[in-house]
Amino acid sequence: MDAVQFLQNFLNGISIGSVYAIFALGYTLVFSILGIINFAHGAIFTLGAYLTYSLAVGQFGIGGLLADLQLPFQFSFTISLFIGAILSGMAGVLVERCAFRPLRTRGADPLLALVSSLGVALVTVNLLQYLVGSEIYSFPSDVYGDIRPAFLLHIGEKLVVVRTVQIIIFAVSMVVLALLGYLIGWTRIGKALRAVAENASTASLLGINVDRFILYTFFLSGFLGGMAGSLVGTSFGIAGPYFGVSYGLKGLAVIVMGGLGSIPGAVLGGMVIGLAEAFVPSEYSAYKEAVAFAFLFAVLLIRPQGLLGSSQIQKV
């Protein structure tokens, strides 16, 4: 591989890696607060992609109950992405209400929520299939308006191609990361959120409404999941209602790689997995996922707690 090829792979890697990072943070936030994985996160990813698609395009595809339905509105991509993420956040809140809270208030074993969240995921995916069918949805190429589809970097004889959507994905993810970092690190809400993550009963002794902050967490998590799904969807198309499943697994690989419950770990893990995939030679691209997981195992052999995890599992 020469330097130009390296640069090309690197740029591809950090673009997709940044999306993995914000997606994986959705898992991390919930894990920090409740100590469990929300298996519905991949379904929210899919849901977000369809929501943004329908808002931006204004119509559905040829299959499912909503086939050929024309929506009375259509928004710009930016606004659709934002509304799609907000609606995904609300779906996250719904997941909390349906799959997590009922078990929590009855004092059930937290592990049971794994099963109930998996149940919610299946229902969501099936419902999506019923509503929008199972064919691939591709965002129209003019969805960002009138901008060029790619930027070409000439380096000597060679060419580095950066698709505009890759730049959009990276920029949006970075803005989201920065805002999230600010929210959690510097605001009153963020401090309270970290207090709940560290010790929920101490937090409630300070007058923090723990249940409400759990809802906020699921909203943020759903927002990140839906936004990630929309970004991946605009880049590669929405490959049917099961689209989120493989990303859901990849997201798990990311947080395990970075260290469970660690926010910087999720970001680093996302970048590492994104880059690992990007450096898989194109003739082996069918094995991309396997390579990412192989990389994960290699890291875990050396650091079982993940790249930035502490040796004991510690939240946030």
Partner 1 sequence: MALLKLKNLSVNYGAIQAVRGLDLEVHSGEVVTLIGANGAGKSTALRAISRLLKVREGSIYFEGREITAQAPDAVVRMGIAQSPEGRQVLARQSVLDNLELGAFVRKDRAGIKSDIAKMFQLFPRLEERKDQSAGTLSGGEQQMLAIARAMMSRPKLLMLDEPSLGLAPLIIREIFSIIRNLNAEGTTILLVEQNARLAMQHSHRTYVLEAGQITFTGPSQELLSDERVLHAYLGG
Residues that bind partner 1 (CB under 8 A): 188, 191-192, 194-195, 198-199, 201-210, 316
Q: Which residues pair with 92 in a beta bridge?
A: none
Instruction: Tell me whether residue 102 or residue 140 sits nearer to partner 1 (CB atom).
Output: 102
Least Cβ distance, residue 183 to partner 1 (angstroms): 15
Q: For the residues of 219-271, what is the DSSP string, one character each?
A: HHHHHHHHHHHHHHHHHH-B-STTHHHHHHHHHHHHHHHH-TT-HHHHHHHHH
Quick one: DSSP state of residue 59?
Answer: B
By beta-carbon proximity to partner 1, the closer residue of 153 and 189 is 189
Give 57 or 192: the residue with its C-beta nearer to partner 1.
192
163: enclosing H helix or E strand: strand 158-163
CB of 235 to partner 1, least distance (A): 37
Please state the closest distance from residue 209 (CB atom) to partner 1, in A: 4
Q: Which residues have a Cβ under 8 Å from the Cβ of 72 and sit 6 or more positions away?
A: none
Q: Which two tokens stand for residue 239?
A: 């490959």
Contact 121, 45 (CB under 8 A): no
Cα 150 to Cα 34: distance, rounded to the nearest angstrom: 42
Cβ-contact 42, 245 below 8 angstroms: yes
**Is 184 or 271 the residue whose CB approaches partner 1 more closely?**
184
Nearest Cα to Cα of residue 37 among 118, 102, 151, 135: 118
Give CA angle at 184 (180, 188), nearest 5°.
130
| Cα(111)–Cα(118) distance, integer angstroms | 11
CB of 104 to partner 1, least distance (A): 14
Nearer to partner 1, 121 or 192 (CB): 192
The DSSP bridge partners found for residue 59 are 70
CB of 54 to partner 1, least distance (A): 39
Retrieve residue 20's tokens: 């993995």
Q: Which is nearer to partner 1, 41 or 194 (CB)?
A: 194
- Beta carbon nearer to partner 1, 5 or 202: 202
Compare residues 3 and 206 and give the one whose CB is closer to partner 1. 206
Angle between helices 210-236 and 243-258 (to 10 degrees): 120
The nearer residue to partner 1, 201 or 282, going by C-beta atoms, is: 201
CB 7 within 8 A of CB 279: no
How many Cβ atoms sit within 10 Å of the Cβ of residue 304? 10
Which helix (H) or strand (E) segment holds residue 128: the answer is: helix 111-132
